[in-house]
Amino acid sequence: MNRPTAGNRSVIRAAAPRPCTLVVCRGCCCGNPRRHPGTDHAWQLDRLRAGAAEGGFQVRTTDCLGPCDQANVMVVQPSTAGRRAGGRVVWVGFALDDDSTDDLLGWARAGGPGVAEPPATLALQFIRPPREARSRARR
């Protein structure tokens, strides 16, 4: 492996700044049209990805995040600037309708945790992360 060097020393570079990231659960219950037939899950994900392309944040999907009884679950990760300002990861549950999607898009565009206040209606949907996530965060 070639590492950049300065004389006899290795140069360690700072990590690139990271934007706010929405992690969208698409496991067994979230994104499942049989469980939530009134929600167009594919359209919701398309809207989030289109918003990310325009708004300077990222969208990722993942398998089951855990709190299936609160589907659709999304995790909002702060940007580098947001984390430096004290922002922490926020779990959002019951993100099934257009209003929730709009609120998530607006908050992510504004910078997300640590940079912008969440919409009051979205804050009502904040949920506690499952025990596994809380215990991993303490390590």
Q: Could you report the per-residue pLDDT of 3-50, keeping only the tens digit for each?
A: 555 566 666 656 678 999 999 999 888 888 888 888 888 999 999 999
Q: Could you report the per-residue pLDDT of 93-103, keeping only the tens digit for each?
A: 999 999 999 99
The token duo for 24 is 């969208």
| Cα angle, residue 32 at apex, residues 98 and 79 outer, rounded to 5° | 55
pTM strictly above 0.85:
no
Average pLDDT over residues 73-101: 95
